[in-house]
Amino acid sequence: MIKKRYLLSPGPTPLPEEVLSLASEPIFHHRTPQFSQNYMDVTDGLKYVFQTENDVYILASTGSGAMEAAVVNTLSPGDKVICINCGKFGARWAHIARAYGADVKEIVLEWGDNFSKAQLAEVLQEVPETKAVFSTLFATSTGALYDIQGFGEEVSSTKTILVVDGISGLGTTPCPMDDWNVDVLISGSQKAFMTPPGLSYISFSEKAWDLVESSTMPKFYYDAREYRKSLKNKTSPWSPAISLILQQKKSLDIIKSIGLENLIHHHQILGDATRAGVQAIGLDLLPTCPGNVLTAVKVPEGIDGIKLVNIMHDKYKVYIAGAQDPHKGDFFRIAHLGYIGGFDVITGLSALEMTLMDLGYSFEPGQAIKAAEEILKENWQ
């Protein structure tokens, strides 16, 4: 049989055809008015998605680079910080902060568990001299959404800044940087931004800039002051990733034509349909508060979770994500992020139904599709 590949992973995500085809256009030089115009257009588009009046800087690196940039620009060695370790990437905040000599209070959550505004308030009371809270909008490794608005309310009246990893979450769920008192917000090109991997984005509030000015952590490539200075000249401090920036401009044009609110609603529908689908065939969700980047689903009793993901990949060519260590085989993750439509959700659920049949799971085939169709058809506009 002819087998097509389907990317239902939380980055890279499928790209619109107009974005893909741009990569085959001739490359041009970056110290030109032509490039500056595109660069500033991308910066403006990013401000629209970040919902901020601050500048947003474009880094030629993937998300983990932007995480490092957030740490090295705002902190000095010995600074006390709180890292909410809500999964693989929450843990990364703590790793990076420790690597640069910060004094880390790491709050380790069970994967998928919630962490409330009230819980943060308690921890902040224990460590009132905390410089920064490092948190996550959407935990890619667990499918959980966190209460950034609440966290912002807790820190806004203090000297502590709120740093948010919005790498996968931004564009799929509300996170207005200025309104919610987020001080540092980062994201990446290969998620809801519908661009290949290779760019990440970072923005600082005025409150964060005060820390940047006094930060003594060693840095060069990620020094925010260099990016601020260069942006005044409508360019980047170092060589920009030209083709990716042109692709990001096209994707931002598409996002603006859809409208941010509609894009968020779109991801809500895809998330609702996927959750309804898996629950209709007796499967349980992992997270307490699921978000709309991906759906993390517990592997049912008696089914080999690693085999399940392998069959999805190798037989059906549907690239969902498995669970990461140390939970490998315990759950799997179907992404509905980026340039994904209703029939991609149907494809993912149909591949899942066939895989579960292959594995001998007892259920009524077709019911996942029926449940998803009922939500999709009502919202298909």
Contact 208, 66 (CB under 8 A): no
Task: Give me the least distance between CB of 148 and a second copy, in Å please.
Answer: 24
- Within the chain, strands assigned E span 6-7, 56-59, 80-85, 103-108, 132-136, 138-139, 144-145, 161-165, 184-188, 200-204, 294-298, 318-319, 321-322, 331-335
How many residues touch a second copy (CB under 8 A)? 41
Longest dimension (CA), the chain: 63
Range 267-286, binding a second copy (CB under 8 A): 269
Residue 108's nearest CA partner among 90, 129, 131, 133 is 90
Q: Taking contact as CB under 8 A, which single stretch among the options 85-93, 150-158, 176-184, 366-374 is the one that binds a second copy?
A: 366-374
Range 341-360, binding a second copy (CB under 8 A): 341-344, 346-347, 350-351, 353-354, 357-358
Task: Give me the least distance between CB of 195 and a second copy, in Å please.
Answer: 15
Contact 312, 355 (CB under 8 A): yes
Structure tokens at 364: 């009524």
State which of residues 92, 266, 275, 333 lies at the interface with a second copy (CB under 8 A). Answer: 266
Structure tokens at 104: 């880390």
Q: Binding mask 213-252 vs a second copy (x if CB under 8 A, - otherwise)? A: ----------------------------------------
Task: Give me the least distance between CB of 350 and a second copy, in Å please.
Answer: 5
The DSSP string of 184-234 is EEEEETTTTT-S-SS-EEEEE-HHHHHHHHH--S--STT-HHHHHHHHHTT
Nearer to a second copy, 109 or 281 (CB): 281
Q: How far apart are CA 23 and CA 20, in angstroms?
A: 6
Task: Give me the least distance between CB of 366 and a second copy, in Å please.
Answer: 3
- Number of Cβ atoms within 10 Å of the Cβ of 5: 10
Task: Give me the least distance between CB of 164 and a second copy, in Å please.
Answer: 25
Task: Give me the least distance between CB of 62 and a second copy, in Å please.
Answer: 24
Task: Give me the least distance between CB of 115 and a second copy, in Å please.
Answer: 31
Q: How far apart are CA 134 and CA 82, in angstroms?
A: 6
379 makes contact with a second copy (CB under 8 A) = yes
Nearer to a second copy, 277 or 287 (CB): 277
Structure tokens at 127: 């460590």
Nearer to a second copy, 99 or 258 (CB): 258
Which phi-psi region, left, alpha or beta, contains residue 123 (left: φ > 0; alpha: ψ -120 to 50)? alpha
Task: Give me the least distance between CB of 269 and a second copy, in Å please.
Answer: 6
Contact 369, 363 (CB under 8 A): no
Nearer to a second copy, 4 or 29 (CB): 4
Nearer to a second copy, 96 or 371 (CB): 371
Contact 179, 301 (CB under 8 A): no
Task: Give me the least distance between CB of 375 and a second copy, in Å please.
Answer: 11
Q: Which residues of 50-80 are buried (b: 16+ CB within 10 A; e: fewer)?
A: bbbebbbbbbbbbbbbbbbbbbbbbbeeebb
Cross-strand partners of 83? 106, 134
Q: Binding mask 302-341 vs a second copy (x if CB under 8 A, - otherwise)? A: -------------xx-x--------------------xxx
- Number of Cβ atoms within 10 Å of the Cβ of 159: 13
Nearer to a second copy, 152 or 171 (CB): 171
Contact 290, 58 (CB under 8 A): no
State which of residues 24, 125, 214, 239 lies at the interface with a second copy (CB under 8 A). Answer: 24
Nearer to a second copy, 322 or 338 (CB): 338
State which of residues 2, 27, 126, 301 lies at the interface with a second copy (CB under 8 A). Answer: 2
27 makes contact with a second copy (CB under 8 A) = no
Binding residues for a second copy, rule: CB under 8 A, are: 1-4, 6, 21, 24, 258, 266, 269, 315-316, 318, 339-344, 346-347, 350-351, 353-354, 357-358, 364-370, 373-374, 376-377, 379-381
